[in-house]
Amino acid sequence: MGLTKVEACYTVTCDGCGLDFEPGDYIPHYPSEGAAEDDVLGYGWIVWKGHWWGEDCAPACECEGSFREHDYGEGPCEADHDETCKCEGFKPREEAIG
């Protein structure tokens, strides 16, 4: 048979703003979560602990430091926003995780 019905595929939506990942004039469909992650990372998206954020929606920590100022979510705060910040790890504000 030349046509196969596919039961499951993946599309990507930003947890911050709710917009679909559209690298062009289409919404790509992926065969696996890993394939989707590989593609969106090439476009500046952030994938962290089951959360997906577009390049313009990088979440802030509860301490107000950015995701990138926390070694991309893996380390203590390195932000210049507050010299007394004792944040030991990235904790996204509740609105960032939907």
**For residue 51, what pLDDT is reported?**
86
**pTM for the structure as a whole:** 0.70
Give the three-state DSSP class for 51.
strand
Q: Compute the distance between CA of residue 58 and CA of residue 8 in angstroms, rounded to an integer.
A: 28
Phi, psi of 52 (to 5 degrees): -130, 120
**For residue 58, what pLDDT is reported?**
77
Average pLDDT along the chain, 98 residues, taken 10 residues at a time: 69 91 91 93 88 84 72 66 66 60
CA angle 14, 43, 70 (to 5 degrees): 70
Residue 3: burial class (beta carbons within 10 Å; 0-12, 13-18, 19+):
exposed
Domain ranges of the chain: 1-57, 59-93
